[in-house]
Structures are given as structure tokens and as C-alpha cells.
Amino acid sequence: MILHPGIIALLLTAVLVLGMVLVGAYAGAIVLARWDLDSSSEGQLALERKTYLLSTLMGHALALEILSALVLLYTLDDIHPVFVGAMCATGTLNANPVGWWALGVKILALFCCAIWIALNRIDQRAEDYPLTRLKYGLLLLLAPLLALETWLVFRFFLGLDPNVITSCCGALFSGSGAGVAAEVAGLPALPLMLAFFGGAALYLTAGVLALRLAQPWLRYLVAALALAMLGIALASVIAFISPYHYELPTHHCPFDLLQADYRYIGYPMYLALFGAVFYGLLVGIAEPLRRIPSIQGPIAAAQPRWTLLSMLLLALFITIAAWPMVFSDFTLQGYY
């Protein structure tokens, strides 16, 4: 294993978070079997105190899991000079292909953890804790996901060998290469630009309508469009957004944007994208929970804020992505 502070921090964090979630999942099994808010028995009172404490600890543990996603991106890029042939995080991931699975599961866990934290905050604002069974039941599903992530992260970092000659983004994100990444990089820029900016306009329009008309179907539409925008935006980053930032039509790597040569622009750009998608999803996920009287008010008050935050973050992502398209002399004309 490469002894790097980021790697050590990620491994320790994975073990710590998984341990906490396993404790929470065990408590969740007890809650699902014994929780009865109508009861005033000693066992129920003890369970209520225990769940309140555990919910607070779970919130901090899952927040740490979310923060570790940023540490993972930084570490992948920071250790790439160790490997011959690597020029960015792509080379590090290619040095042990398990890393691609670890990254994918980490992104999925990031969204799941953030949604759990949001549901927990809503639940704690009601006197009857109506989401207790739901959120502890979700911990039972979250535990195996984090266990898989921990296993993949350990396999990836423990399997890294500095003597391995790896390939980097020039081979993976090349329109003439093979694989999904190459196919995305080879997509024609103009149709994808139309899909990206058209999808963003549709999403912002749906958000404005959801704020003004307050119809349930519009909030579900916002969530569906947020998920669709995630796929379109990531494909766009590879196909045409990255080349505009690099001012090189054949350079499609989404990870070089995290480097100092490009002013670390990838960090605010990806944070804005994932934040926009998260808040958009949250609008739709919380909609069926409005049927619960004790949290109807808090959710009704939060959904407009989530919608507005999602729209602002998407606008920030679009601004960062489109900046060189507007203010630089570079163009992809001829590569459409």
C-alpha cells in the first residue's frame, strides 16, 4: 500500500463510518420490531432516548462519509505521480481498475447518506418522530452499501503497486478508443450541447413552475429531471465541456479539471452539479411524506428552499461549464 495521508484517512474513515452504521442498523432492527410511540413503557422510553442519540451520531458519521468523497477525489489526483504513465486521477484509477467501482459506489453512497441526513432532520422537527421506522429501516439498506464501499476501497488502495505502468486519460477518454468512456467522448458535440442547455432550460422552467403553482406532479417532475440532468451533465463534461476548459478538442478527461493547472475548477463545478441533483431529488422524495400531518408543515416550507437551491446550484454549474465557451477564442467548430 502507498503510505499517503489521504489513503490512511480514507481507510480509517471507511472503517469508522461502517462501524457506526452497523451499530445503527442493529438499532434499526430493534426499532422495527419494538417501536410503539403510543406506549409509555420503560422499554419504549429507553428506546426513544437511544434512537435520538443514535440519530445524532448517524448524522455526523454520514456527514463524514460525504466529506470523504472530496478526500477521495483529491487523493486520487495527488498520488498519480507515483505511477508511470499517469497524468491525473484517471491513471490512478487505471492502476487498479477496482477503483472505478469504488468511485461509483462512493457516489451512490454520497447521495444515500445525504438523503438520510435530510430525512433525519425532518423527523427531528416533529414531536412524534414519524420517520423513525423509515430512517432506521433505510440504515439496514445503507449498511451493506457502505460495507461494499469499504471492501472496494480497501481492495483498491491495498492493491496499488507503484511498479505498475498504467494508462491515462488520453487512452481512456478518446473518441477513437473502446469502452463506454470512449463512446461518450466520441459523441457529437452539437447535439449534446442542445440536450445539455435544453435540458437545463427545461429543468429551470419546471423549478419556477413548481415554486409558483405548488403542484405535486411538478415536484415529482423536478426530481425526475434532476436525475436526468446528472447523466446529461456528466456526459457533457466528457464530450464538450472539458475540451473547452482545456482548449484542446481531443482532451476529454473529467479529472484534469481538479488540477492546479486549471485552477481546481472541477471542485466547485462538481459540487454545484451534485448539490443541484441532490436538492432536486429531495423535492420529489419528500413529496409523499407530506401526507404525515406532523411533518407536513416543515416539508412544505423546505421544498421551495430545496427547489431554489437546486436551481441556483445548477445555474452555477452551467456558468462554470459555459464560461470558456463565451469568453475564450477556442471553438469546437469542425468537431461537431
**Model confidence at 285, in pLDDT bands (50, 70, 90)?**
very high
Question: Is this prediction's pTM over 0.85?
Answer: yes
pLDDT number for residue 1? 56
What is the pLDDT confidence band of residue 40, given thresholds at 50, 70 and 90?
A: low
List the one residue out of 182, 188, 302 whose CA is nearest residue 252: 182
For the stretch 301-319, pLDDT in tens is 999 999 999 999 999 999 9
C-alpha–C-alpha distance, residues 219 and 78, integer Å: 40
Q: Which amino acid is at 331?
A: T
- Whether 334 shows a pLDDT value over 60: the answer reads no
With a cut of 90, say whether residue 106 has pLDDT above it: yes
Cell digits of residue 312? 441556483
d(CA 289, CA 119): 10
pLDDT surpasses 80 at 2: no
Q: Which among 208, 202, 209 is positioned nearest to 225, based on CA atoms?
A: 202
Task: Give the separation between CA 333 and CA 321, rounded to whole angstroms.
Answer: 17
Helices (H), the chain: 5-34, 42-78, 89-95, 98-123, 132-158, 169-172, 180-185, 189-213, 216-236, 242-246, 266-286, 293-327
Per the listing, cell 471492501 goes with 151
- Indicate if the pLDDT at residue 37 is higher than 80: no
Query: What tens digit of pLDDT does each residue of 116-168 get?
Result: 999 999 988 887 888 888 888 899 999 999 999 999 999 999 999 888 878 77
Q: Quote the CA–CA distance of 18 and 12 in Å, as a whole number.
A: 10
Three cell numbers, residue 317: 454549474
Instruction: Identify which has the larger pLDDT, 330 or 274.
Output: 274
Q: Are 179 and 172 in contact (CB under 8 A)?
A: yes
Residue 177 in this model has a pLDDT that exceeds 60: no
Instruction: Taking residues 260-276, report their average pLDDT.
Output: 94
Residue 10 is predicted with a pLDDT of 94
Burial of 335: CB neighbours in 10 Å, binned 0-12, 13-18, 19+: middle
pLDDT band at 87 (very low <50, low <70, confident <90, very high): confident
Please give the angle made by the CA atoms of 310, 316 and 320, to the nearest 5 degrees.
Answer: 145
CA nearest neighbour of 18 among 152, 145, 120: 145
Q: Over 80: is that where the pLDDT of 244 sits?
A: yes
pLDDT at 126: 82
Quickly count: other Cβ atoms within 10 Å of residue 43's Cβ: 10
User: DSSP letter at 79?
Assistant: T
273 close to 230: Cβ distance less than 8 angstroms? yes
Owner of C-alpha cell 434499526: 28
The mean predicted confidence, pLDDT, of the chain is 88
Residue in the structure block whose three cell numbers are 406506549: 39
Residue 227 has pLDDT above 90, yes or no: yes
What pLDDT does 51 receive?
Answer: 77
CB neighbourhood size of 290 (10 A)? 16
- Of the two residues 265 and 190, the one the predictor is more confident about is 265
Looking at residue 176, its pLDDT comes to: 57
Highest mean pLDDT among 34-43, 149-158, 241-250: 149-158
280 has a pLDDT exceeding 90: yes
As a whole number, mean pLDDT of residues 158-187 equals 74
84 beta partners: 165
